[in-house]
Structure 1
Amino acid sequence: MDLTYKQEIGVGALVLMGLAVFTVGLFWLTGRSIKSTGVKADVVFSNVSGLKQGDPVMVSGVKKGRVQSVKLQRVGRVEVVLELASDVKPRVDASASVGSTDFFGARFVDFSPGDDQKPYLQDGHAIVGTTPPALMDVATGVATRANELIGNASGIVNQQLAEDIHNTLVATQRGLNVLTEAGSGSMIRQTTATLASVERVMARIDTILGNGKRIDSLGANITDLTNELSHATASLNGLLAKVNKGEGTLGRLASDSTLYNDLHKTLNALTDLLTDLKERPGRYVHVKVF
């Protein structure tokens, strides 16, 4: 009988010890303390982004408390009670925000007790907390902006620029046909100036399409390019009008083979550029998101 009684006492002691170890372990895992020696602070958030009871409270990267409770008062207002160490008691300018410790959703409260020269926060007064945008929200915004930029760039390059280059090619072809038949001293000078203008247009096209400028400056460059193309077309139309009036002599133009060759090379270069732009626009427009 005595042996049975002793066994029962031993079993009871083991059970009590097991319960004590379990309780201590539970408090340790949840970050709680058996005896609370800290202070409490009420914080109001509009969105806590998954913050829950037991999450740590960090002050300058050092754990100084834990989240005691999270309660939804109404839509857009969440009351969070923080249990803080006594050396970080909140002052009237204290602040708090919800942060993320990793990419898996673990949350914490980044707490600042405020200026040491300011008075302590009175009981019953809540701190207004902030919640920075989540990583997924930022990524979604960036992707939307990138799609808008790509669409705008594609519309500008494929429509307006192609039409301007085509108009220039037509005017250049007409001028080349006329210059093979008639010319004069003043016409040669005007043709030389027109050729230089067309070459500047080609240089501007190479600059816009080849150097990967930012999309927000592409519109201004296209406007300048259109003005240059309009000027070149007007010059060629004036040249054709002079030829129709019979001004100049055929001999002086026919003897100037260098002018003909330069204009012919320019026409070929513009034709190749338009063909390559229509077939492979991706080689000339590059969009970078920073």
Structure 2
Amino acid sequence: MSQKKLEIWVGLFVVAAIAAFAILSFSVAGLSFKGEGNSYTLEANFTNVGGLKPRAPVKLGGVVVGRVESISLDKDTYTPLVKLSMYEDQGYFPETSSLAILTSGLLGEQYIGIKPGFVDDGIEMLGDGDAIEDTKSALVLEDLIGQFIYSINKDD
């Protein structure tokens, strides 16, 4: 094989490796080249968001039904305001639904779990811009350890 052909093959190999690395990076980050389709926005206030980050998934029974769009501070209530982008093709949820910040595994990344509420004749479905009132904040590991140590010392 001539020197020029060898250089071309090495160049193609390097380009293929860079493309594979880019695709792997997008996959690990949860990004995709295809759109997620139409979505609607929901809002929720939490007392503590812990390590929740934008683009974190919103899951129902392990199925991703949306993503965290943004996290900001509500200047009126001084609590974190989380905006969610919910996928329309996954359906709409009753206004009695609740949200909880959960963790994948013991020290894994945090995500939002949605628990659909009951559906009745007087219950409406959440739409674009609506707020979910029933929320459960993230558990902070340091607080749990502190409570455990306090309860041990209290018994002495």
Q: By the TM > 0.5 criterion, same fold?
A: yes
Map 1:1-290 to 2 at 5 A: 26=26, 29-31=29-31, 33-74=34-75, 76-86=78-88, 87-117=90-120, 118-128=123-133, 129-150=135-156
1:126 match: secondary structure: strand
Q: What letter matches 1:106 in structure 2?
A: E
Distance 1:41 1:27, change over 3 A: farther
1:140 match: secondary structure: helix
Counting helix residues as a fraction of each chain, which structure ranks higher?
A: 1
Choose 21-30 or 134-143, whichever is displaced more. 21-30
Task: Please list the CA deviations of residues 161-208 of structure 1 after superposition, one character each: whole Å capped at 9, or x if unmatched.
Answer: xxxxxxxxxxxxxxxxxxxxxxxxxxxxxxxxxxxxxxxxxxxxxxxx
List structure 1 segments (4+ residues) > 6 angstroms apart after TM superposition: none
Return the offset for 1:59. 0.5
Alpha-carbon contact 1:41-1:84 (below 8 Å) kept: yes
Return the offset for 1:89. 1.5
2:81 match: secondary structure: strand
Return the offset for 1:148. 2.0
Return the offset for 1:121. 2.0
Q: How far apart, CA to CA, are the structure 1 residues paired with 2:91 and 2:36?
A: 18
Residue 188 of structure 1 is matched in structure 2 by none
State the superposition RMSD in angstroms. Answer: 3.0
Alpha-carbon contact 2:58-2:67 (below 8 Å) kept: yes
Alpha-carbon contact 1:52-1:67 (below 8 Å) kept: yes
Distance 1:146 1:51, change over 3 A: same
Q: What letter matches 2:58 in structure 1?
A: V
Return the offset for 1:22. 5.4
Q: What letter matches 1:77 in structure 2?
A: T
Alpha-carbon contact 1:42-1:79 (below 8 Å) kept: yes
Alpha-carbon contact 2:40-2:127 (below 8 Å) kept: no
Give TM-score scaled by structure 2 length.
Answer: 0.68
Which structure has more RCO (C-alpha within 8 Å, separation ≥ 6)?
2
Q: Which runs of 5+ in 1 are unaligned?
A: 1-14, 151-290
Counting strand residues as a fraction of each chain, which structure ranks higher?
A: 2
Identity of aligned residues (%): 23
